[in-house]
Amino acid sequence: MTYTPFSATGAGSPLRAVPEPTPPATEAERHVAWERTIDKMEMDLMVAKRLLSAIDPPDVDTWNAPEDIGPLPLHLRDRAERLLDEQRRVGAELVEALGLRRRQHAYAERVQQTVPRTGAAYLDIKS
């Protein structure tokens, strides 16, 4: 048995018992466990893609690797490889987007430091 912290509102013991994950007993259960894992990873990838175009990014859950589901079934290999390729592509796009946003933020900071704060300032962005 493992123990995890309560969410900050709980009274009493600061830990709660969480049963150990039960490994899949059959080939069919292992297949389902892997499909669920890949489904979750694909959903996380969709969220990452939304981050690229979002003004207010969505909340992102922490991903934890599954435990005790055994090796990836061979018939899911192509799907998992496509997912990995797409994760790498989107990851590179996120790194690029973060770099761009950092540069934009740094530029805005420099402009803010040079503009007198005595009155309104307007910027013609159509020129």
Please choose, from the candidates 24, 16, 29, 5, the residue with its C-alpha nearest in 3D space to the C-alpha of residue 67: 24
User: Is pTM, for the whole model, over 0.75?
Assistant: no
In the predicted structure, residue 68 carries a pLDDT above the cut 90: no
Identify the pLDDT of residue 120.
Answer: 61
- Return all residues near 57 (Cβ < 8 A) that are at least 6 apart: 50, 51
Q: What percent of the chain has pLDDT over 90?
A: 12
Distance CA 22, CA 29 (A): 11
Higher pLDDT, 24 or 99: 99
